Chains A and B, each alone.
Chain A
């Protein structure tokens, strides 16, 4: 089976840096994705790690360590619009098009 753990809620101030962690236990792992979801909105893709290391996309970066079954999403120069829920999702090794989503981390950005 698949199990993902994320903190339920994180609070940070505008302009700061925040890290959202994701640990997973899986029977077959291929990669880790991150999605953002604003209240009442649809999840939107942020980043994907297929290999160990850091992937950078603008203010957002994502990191993966396969040996530690661990990844994180790093958000820099936080803006109010970053207030949203962030989900990590494990890509299944047996079915490359299948993802298991974590329960999400609600990020509150304060002025």
Chain B
């Protein structure tokens, strides 16, 4: 079974520029997550999708961040305009809906550097 795919793996931009990340979850996984992980910290949930609907985006800075999962499969996360504090690794994860453990499978992440 193929894992969660993300691209690009690395991105360097200047502040005020825009950037987009792409994620393709494990086939059949209904739930998709975007996390932000700042160096030395744990993953922080930005947005959670169930199929193509948003379940939770309470910690998404909506003035600059947006995300979509139009067909309930792959997803994009966009930042516009970027700030210095957005430098982090952006992790995408997917899971089967419900389940006893709800194991989340993480992609390799996109390391964003904002200069």
Contacts and interface: CB of A to CB of B under 8 A. Distances in A.
B95 interface: yes
Contacts, number: 65
A61 B42 CA distance: 21
Interface residues of A, number: 24
Contacts of B103: 33, 45, 48
B25 interface: no
A80 B28 CA distance: 35
B107 A103 contact: no
Contact of A99 (B50, B104, B108): B104
B102 interface: yes
| 9 nearest A-B pairs in the assembled complex, by CB-CB distance | A101-B42, A42-B106, A48-B101, A45-B103, A101-B43, A43-B106, A103-B42, A97-B31, A87-B42
Nearest to A42: B106
A58 interface: no
Q: Main SS of chain A's interface residues?
A: strand
Interface of A: 4, 31, 33, 35, 41-45, 48, 50, 87, 89, 91, 95-104
Nearest to A45: B103
Interface of B: 4, 31, 35, 40-45, 48, 50, 55-56, 91, 93, 95, 97-98, 100-109
B35 to A, nearest CB: 8
Nearest to A44: B106
B106 A99 contact: no
Contacts of B44: 101
Contact of B56 (A43, A98, A104): A98
Nearest to A8: B40
B41 A97 contact: no
Given A42-B107, A45-B103, A48-B101, A99 B45 contact: yes
B42 A104 contact: yes
A97 B101 contact: no
A12 B47 CA distance: 36
Given A44-B106, A45-B104, A48-B103, A98 B98 contact: no
